[in-house]
Chain A
Amino acid sequence: MTATASWHHRLAERGVDRRLWLLLPATIFVLLLFVYPFLYGLSLSFQPLNGGGLLANYEKFFGDAYQRDTIVTTLKIALPAALLNVLAAVPIAFRMRGRFRGKRLLTTLLVVPITLGTVLTAQGLLNYLGPTGWFNRVLLSLHLIEDPVRLTNNYWGVFFSLVITGFPFAFLLVLSYLSGIDPTLERAAATLGASRAQRFRRITLPLLAPGLATTFLLTFVLAFSVFPSAVLVGNPAGSTRVISLAAYQAAYEQYDYAYASAIAMIMGAVELVVVVIVLLWRSRLYTGSTGGKG
Chain B
Amino acid sequence: MSNRSIRATPTAWFIWAAVVFFFVNLAGVVGSVLVSSFGQKWFDTWVPSGFTTQWYGDAWREFGLLQVISVTLLASGLVVALSVLVGAPAAYVLARQNFPGKRLVYLTFLLPILMPPITYGIPLATVLYKFGFAGHLSGVVLANLVPSVPFVILTMTPFIEQVDPRIESAARMLGANTRAVFLKILAPLLVPGLLASAILVLVRTVGMFELTFLTAGPDSQTLVVALYYSMSAAGIRAQQSVDAMAVMYTAMMLVLLVVALRFVNPTQLVARVKEEPPE
List residues of chain A with CB under 8 Å of any chain B CB.
Answer: 14-20, 22-23, 25-27, 29-30, 33-38, 40-42, 44, 88, 91-92, 95-96, 98-100, 104, 107-125, 127-128, 132-135, 137, 164, 167-169, 172-173, 175-177, 210-211, 214, 217-218, 221-222, 224-225, 227-228, 231-232, 244, 247-248, 251, 257, 260-261, 263-265, 267-268, 271, 275, 287-288, 294
Contact = CB atoms under 8 A, between A and B. Distances in A.
Interface stretch (B15-23, B55-63, B65-73): B15-23
A286 B22 CA distance: 33
Interface string B13-45: 001001100110110111111001000000110
Nearest to B246: A123
A29 B126 contact: no
Contacts of B278: 287-288
B185 interface: no
B75 to A, nearest CB: 15
Contacts of A117: 207, 209, 224, 253
A34 B15 contact: no
Contact of B93 (A22, A113, A261): A22
A209 to B, nearest CB: 13
A92 B15 contact: yes
Contact of B28 (A44, A116, A134): A134
B215 to A, nearest CB: 11
Nearest to B226: A119
A33 B246 contact: no
Contact of A268 (B36, B119, B256, B267): B119
B122 A88 contact: no
Interface residues of B, number: 95
Nearest to A133: B32
Nearest to B86: A25
B176 to A, nearest CB: 14
A23 B120 contact: no
B99 A37 contact: no
B12 A172 contact: no
Given A115-B257, A225-B210, A122 B231 contact: yes
Contacts of B89: 22-23, 25-26
A44 B90 contact: no
B249 interface: yes
Contacts of B127: 36-37, 40-41
A37 B122 CA distance: 9
B266 A107 contact: yes
A261 B123 contact: yes
A265 B26 CA distance: 35
B149 A20 contact: no
Given A26-B90, A117-B209, A37 B123 contact: yes
Given A30-B109, A34-B146, A98-B1, A112 B231 contact: no
B225 to A, nearest CB: 8
B194 interface: no
Contacts of A221: 114-116
A152 to B, nearest CB: 12
